[in-house]
């Protein structure tokens, strides 16, 4: 497998960029709508199918036995070798609900209203605003069959469920209920279904395969949102035992068993595409929503600093594979791409031209998929804390090789304003984020800090907007 799991070669691949995104670019975007324009035209009768697979709390280090043990992801390894692989792909957040909001809308999560995690405690801060368009809305409008199988986590209640947000078919769960992998309840297009005779991950894989077979004669968009390897840590004992015998503790052995089952299901889905003749014209994308959960203990994640809940590389850098056999040559890409870029890229590849209701933060990286030398470099931003956003804490901007971080303080509630100074890293020389160079580059630190502040002001204004009447369904 060719994917590099560290950034040790980045210094030879990334040119020093010291300019930061100007406030004017943010304000222009926030004032009007933008068109999502396809770079080429695609005959609607030959439009590709799209399968977007998202794992949950899956780390880059979980791939291919990177900790020196035998691979636990043979199907993902094979899939990666057939794909365009990104060495610098980023989630939009270090936690799952905001990451998913950005993935679905092409907008920074705060703009969409989804800023925290628990839908029971924070119902209004974990649901997409009604004036937000999802990729499912846009694909459905373009004539695609649309389906979500698995985790939703961006809204609950009338008008906020997946079937209200562009997904014509939904077989999954909202994301904040008590859930066992062996005893769970699914929402099947609004009807509850209790399941206690299957393992959740296998069940989701089966349902994905059935969706593909149902829609084999019509273009479809399927979002397969696996729960694995998210807590609770549960897996078939015979697979857990295999990893215990390799020397892993119970927690990591269970996580790796959960990953193996997910990998097995992804392999079955890819095989099903081949068997029914859809593999060549189906775009399959695999990513994870954020880094590993520290609550489950430490596990291998290369040399990356940080975990889920933190905007350090270990919390936000994720795997990204894109396979389209009839159109894309496998290979590695070192350009920085972000979850907000997924929506415009998918629309571009499918030849769908539309105008968004709200400004899109992302840009299509279709040119990068086709050409490893295509330029694609923009500043990107992150921020998270539990509850109402506090932008003095756990925020970051990356521009080129430089990343400025307002340090993580806590993942608990009631975050107070932080007085910790910003920290500047040169990721080309220090991928592990160990050395603060802010004092060596005061002008750069100041300009990046100002850009981050302006971005924070912009998205907070958008988050706080009122009077949304919703999108007609």
**113-132 pLDDT, tens per residue?**
999 999 999 999 999 999 99
Query: Is position 417 within any domain?
Result: yes
- For helices 250-275 and 237-245, angle between their N-to-C axes, nearest 10 degrees: 120
Residues 372 and 409 in one domain: no
Extended strands (E) in 370-420:
380-383, 395-399, 402-406
| CA distances to 61, 377, 399, 467 from 15, in Å | 26, 10, 11, 44
Q: State whether residue 285 is helix, strand or coil.
A: strand
Total domain count for the chain? 2
Domain end residue (candidates: 348, 376, 404): 376
The string of pLDDT tens digits covering residues 59-99 is 999 997 777 788 899 999 999 999 999 999 999 999 999 99
**Per-residue pLDDT tens digits for 453-463:** 999 999 999 99
- Whether 302 maps to a domain, the answer reads yes
The 10s digit of each residue's pLDDT in 386-422 is 999 999 999 999 999 999 999 999 999 888 999 999 9
Among 355, 376, 397, identify where a domain stops. Answer: 376
The per-residue pLDDT for range 8-57, each reduced to its tens digit, is: 333 333 333 333 333 333 333 333 333 444 444 445 558 999 999 999 99
**Whether 262 and 410 share a structural domain:** no
Per the DSSP assignment, residues forming a β-bridge with 368 are none
Q: Which residue has better confidence, 217 or 469? A: 217
Do both 407 and 371 map to the same domain?
no
Provide the CB-side half-sphere exposure for 198 (13 A, CA): 14
345 and 397 within one domain: no
pLDDT of 251? 98
By C-alpha distance, which of 75, 122, 82, 80 is closest to 98? 122
Q: Is residue 246 in a domain?
A: yes
Helix (H, G, I), strand (E, B) or coil at 344: helix
Asked if the structure places residue 215 within a domain, the reply is yes
pLDDT at residue 36, as a whole number: 47
Residue 207 lies in a domain: yes
Per-residue pLDDT, 66: 73
Return the SS3 of 172. Answer: strand
In a domain, 287, yes or no: yes
333/240 Cα distance (integer angstroms): 34
> Which residues are within 8 A (CB) of 245 and not within 5 positions of it... i.e. 6 or more apart?
none
Peptide bond into 232 cis (omega under 30): yes
Q: Are residues 372 and 385 in the same domain?
A: no
What backbone torsions phi and psi does residue 443 show, to the nearest 5 degrees?
A: -65, -45
The last residue of one of the domains, among 325, 359, 376, is 376
Q: If you average pLDDT over every residue of the chain, what do you get?
A: 90
- Give the residue, 64 or 467, on which the prediction is more confident: 64
- Average pLDDT in the 276-299 region? 98
pTM: 0.91
pLDDT of residue 43: 53
Whether residues 291 and 398 share a domain: the answer is no
154 is a domain residue: yes
| Structural domain boundaries, residue 434 | 381-463
Q: What is the pLDDT of residue 467?
A: 55
Say which CATH number the domain at 437 has.
3.30.1120.10
Question: What's the average model confidence in pLDDT over 417-440?
Answer: 98
User: What is the band of 354 on the pLDDT scale with cuts at 50, 70, 90?
Assistant: confident
CATH number of the domain bearing residue 265: 3.40.720.10
Same domain, 362 and 387: no
- Answer whether residue 473 shows pLDDT above 80: no
Q: Which residues pair with 57 in a beta bridge?
A: none
Both 249 and 394 in a single domain?
no
- Say if residue 361 is in the same domain as residue 397: no
| Percent residues over pLDDT 90 in the chain | 85
On whether residue 18 sits in a domain, the answer given is no
Q: Do 293 and 397 fall into the same domain?
A: no
Are 98 and 52 part of one and the same domain? Answer: yes
Task: Give the contacts of 191 (CB within 8 A, at least 6 positions apart).
Answer: none
Co-location of 349 and 423 in the same domain: no
């Amino acid at each position: 497998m060719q994917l590099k799991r560290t950034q040790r070669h980045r210094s030879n691949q990334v040119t020093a960029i010291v300019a930061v995104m100007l406030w004017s670019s943010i304000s222009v975007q926030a004032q009007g709508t933008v068109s999502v324009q396809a770079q080429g035209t695609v005959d609607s009768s030959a439009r590709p199918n799209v399968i977007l697979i998202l794992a949950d709390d899956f780390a880059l280090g979980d791939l291919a036995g990177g900790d020196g043990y035998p691979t636990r992801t043979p199907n993902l390894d094979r899939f990666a070798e057939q794909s365009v692989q990104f060495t610098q792909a980023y989630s939009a957040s270090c936690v799952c609900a905001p990451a998913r909001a950005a993935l679905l809308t092409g907008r920074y999560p705060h703009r969409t209203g989804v800023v925290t995690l628990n839908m029971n405690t924070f119902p209004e801060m974990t649901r997409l605003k009604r004036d937000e368009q999802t990729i499912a809305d846009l694909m459905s409008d373009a004539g695609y069959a649309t389906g979500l199988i698995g985790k939703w986590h961006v809204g609950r209640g009338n008008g906020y469920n997946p079937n209200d947000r562009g997904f014509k078919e939904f077989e999954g769960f909202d994301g904040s209920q008590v859930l066992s992998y062996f005893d769970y309840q699914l929402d099947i297009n609004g009807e509850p279904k209790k399941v206690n005779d299957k393992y959740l991950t296998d069940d989701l894989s089966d349902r994905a395969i059935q969706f593909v077979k149902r829609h084999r004669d019509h273009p479809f968009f399927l979002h397969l949102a696996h729960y694995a390897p998210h807590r609770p840590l549960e897996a078939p004992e015979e697979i857990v035992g295999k990893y215990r015998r390799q020397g892993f503790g119970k927690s990591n052995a269970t996580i790796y068993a959960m990953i193996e089952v997910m990998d097995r299901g992804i392999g079955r889905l890819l095989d099903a595409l081949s068997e029914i003749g859809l593999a060549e014209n189906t775009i399959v994308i695999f990513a994870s929503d954020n880094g590993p959960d520290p609550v489950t203990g430490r596990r291998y994640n290369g040399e990356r600093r940080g975990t889920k809940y933190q905007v350090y590389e270990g919390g936000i850098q994720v795997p990204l594979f894109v396979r389209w056999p009839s159109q894309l040559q496998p290979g590695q890409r070192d350009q920085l791409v972000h979850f907000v870029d997924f929506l415009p890229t998918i629309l571009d590849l499918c030849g769908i031209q539309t105008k968004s209701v709200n400004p899109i933060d992302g840009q299509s990286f279709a040119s990068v998929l086709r050409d490893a030398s295509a330029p694609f470099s923009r500043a990107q931003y992150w921020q998270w804390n539990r509850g109402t956003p506090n932008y003095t804490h756990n925020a970051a901007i990356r521009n080129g090789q430089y990343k400025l971080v307002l340090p993580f303080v806590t993942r608990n509630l009631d975050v107070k304003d932080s007085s910790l100074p910003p920290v500047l890293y040169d990721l080309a020389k220090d991928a592990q984020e160990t050395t603060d160079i802010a004092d060596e580059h005061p002008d750069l630190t100041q300009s990046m800090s100002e850009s981050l502040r302006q971005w924070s002001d912009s998205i907070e204004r958008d988050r706080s907007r009122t009077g949304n009447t919703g999108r007609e369904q």
